[in-house]
Chain A
Amino acid sequence: DAMVIQNPRYQVTQFGKPVTLSCSQTLNHNVMYWYQQKSSQAPKLLFHYYDKDFNNEADTPDNFQSRRPNTSFCFLDIRSPGLGDAAMYLCATSRGVDSSNQPQHFGDGTRLSIL
């Protein structure tokens, strides 16, 4: 009954080789988020989509891009992964951006390793 599905669960890529992580949702939520979480650190928001409107965090590196072709799917593209990009990437959704009555629903994450 997974409502936010991330594929793959584990991804290994080579230094500098582009990689795409996938997220899909069955909740029909308007907002989709991508977080990066490194070991023993807090999840850090990279960007989010409100419908088709893309909102990038100021400190998200240009190396990270995102696409949302439709309501259900959102992709995270890392154009030239560096060793420092090895992390857990979490996708989340919510009905709106107001956290007061619309908590975010998370997928199980994709763990990215860089060789």
Chain B
Amino acid sequence: DQQVKQNSPSLSVQEGRISILNCDYTNSMFDYFLWYKKYPAEGPTFLISISSIKDKNEDGRFTVFLNKSAKHLSLHIVPSQPGDSAVYFCAASAYKLIFGTGTRLQVFP
């Protein structure tokens, strides 16, 4: 049973536009959510996080939104840049991290 789901394996966005990556979860005990970014041949790097008591967290071009009633979170990247092309993992925490399968984002000129 997959507790954290990223249903879009890939996303293609034009440079300058908004990228929206989605994540759904099933366990209401999760109290913290994180996004990691992974370039090829590198390990995941922490990008941004949000506590379950908040509904929005912003860091520069990156904003994470949390909808607890829908058990859904999203990562918005505005404006998207070619360097943002990577695999993005959503992760949820209740003592340990549970990862989604990732979404590959490609930002084209």
Contact = CB atoms under 8 A, between A and B. Distances in A.
Interface of A: 4, 6, 40-45, 48, 57, 90, 92, 97, 99-100, 103-109
B90 to A, nearest CB: 9
Contacts of B31: 100
Interface string B55-80: 00000000000000000000000000
Interface in B25-49: 31-32, 34, 36, 41-46, 49
B28 to A, nearest CB: 17
Contacts of B98: 42
Interface in B6-32: 9, 31-32
Contact of A42 (B42, B45, B51, B101): B101
Interface-centre pick from A42, A92, A109 (highest chain B CB count, 10 A): A42
A22 B67 CA distance: 39
Contacts of A44: 99
Interface residues of B, number: 25
B43 A100 contact: no
B51 A105 contact: no
13 contacts: A42-B89, A43-B89, A44-B99, A92-B43, A97-B96, A99-B93, A100-B31, A103-B49, A104-B97, A107-B43, A108-B41, A108-B43, A109-B43
B101 A40 contact: yes
Contact of B46 (A42, A57, A104, A108): A104
Contacts of A45: 96-97
Given A42-B100, A43-B99, A45-B97, A100 B51 contact: yes
A107 B43 CA distance: 5
A4 B43 CA distance: 9
Contacts of A106: 36, 43-45
A95 B9 CA distance: 31
Contacts of A41: 101
